[in-house]
Copies of this chain bind each other. A is one copy, B any other.
């Protein structure tokens, strides 16, 4: 095992860009502190980046008691990235600037089960890219519900999409001629959360998504845990009861069969709380109106979710639990069952752990995928591999065809 992982050479240069993108302008001294680098090196690196045209010096900042800081900002025309969320019946696209801001979104119908689906995805991507800004495109991030062997290779297996070892990474790369990074969608979201969201101030957190299914991403020491086979975070299949409906995985008693939007809808239909064809919106409306049966459906799911997550808090000892996903819109109803079960199941020392609910937007999944590209700088361990190098190259090359001093 490597004692000194020996990051790729210009990781730090890109880390500066990513930090400025995520947090806005900063001084050299501040960058050196937050990135744990020496001021000396920061001088060197920023000199290069300024020369390359990726950074520019902004105005001075008011003195903090000493010499005033010269702020550095990104040259926003330096690049853009595209993120894709793949679902079984549609794909969502988003284009983001180098600073992480969403520039453009789109959504298209898509049949993940079709034999030609890889080609049609490539086609949809091509036309989305063509409509974008003129800034150089650094790469494509793809978020999928399932396990991915590695971001760089991008071979996907997913029960939800009914995919088995689909080489989506290699195919898109060949078709589009761009760096392509593939990741589990929850992990991608967690990465976005770490760079731009509540996770920004935490190096250890647990991100839980509530949607059609239920998932989690584990961030330890600032890095996402992928597990041996890239399948870490599958909390949907934690066994929580001895009985219950059969899960898509074939087992009985999985958390996902009790605590997910699909599970809520199924239960509510069984109990005639909502009409046979109604969805989660109807259930929410019923609960909003104070329907006790609807409230109970949320409460029971929240109870099981709370106990399961309490177990994870014991195992992982995170600093905070962050809730994400479409389902957070109904969190008010969930929390009714969640909070008491969660707190009661925790050992006293952890009972005060914060549970934060992140504001959710439709574009968030795809934005998370785009973050894969922008987060490449943080990839000190080489998770993104060769594709990460390509992203870095594109970032630097586009700005300065001339050689560096």
Which residue numbers of A lie inside 8 Å of B, CB to CB?
1-7, 11-12, 15, 34-37, 147, 157, 159, 203-204, 216, 218, 220-222, 225-239, 249-251, 253, 307-308, 310-312, 314-319, 344-350, 377-378, 380-381
Contacts and interface: CB of A to CB of B under 8 A. Distances in A.
Nearest to A159: B347
A315 B233 contact: yes
Contact of A317 (B3, B228, B312): B228
B250 A348 contact: yes
B350 A231 contact: yes
A218 B2 contact: no
Contact of A316 (B203, B227, B348): B227
Chain A contact residues, majority secondary structure: loop
Contact of A310 (B230, B236, B239): B239
A70 to B, nearest CB: 22
- Copies of this chain per assembly: 2
Contacts of A2: 35-36
Nearest to A203: B1
A218 B235 CA distance: 16
Contacts of A233: 315, 317
A235 B1 contact: no
In the complex, which of the residues A216, A253, A349, A380 has the most CB atoms of chain B within 10 Å of its own CB atom?
A349
B315 A235 contact: yes
9 contacts: A1-B378, A3-B36, A204-B227, A220-B225, A227-B318, A228-B317, A231-B317, A233-B315, A249-B348
Nearest to A157: B349
A202 to B, nearest CB: 8
Contacts of A216: 315
Nearest to A252: B344
A397 to B, nearest CB: 21
Given A231-B350, A344-B251, A378 B3 contact: yes
A23 to B, nearest CB: 12
Nearest to A379: B3
A237 B314 contact: yes
A340 to B, nearest CB: 12
Contacts of A345: 237, 239, 251, 253
B227 A347 contact: no
A60 to B, nearest CB: 27
Contact of A239 (B12, B227, B311): B311
In the complex, which of the residues A34, A251, A315, A349 has the most CB atoms of chain B within 10 Å of its own CB atom?
A315
A227 B35 contact: no
Nearest to A317: B227
A326 B239 CA distance: 27
A257 B318 CA distance: 24
A372 to B, nearest CB: 17
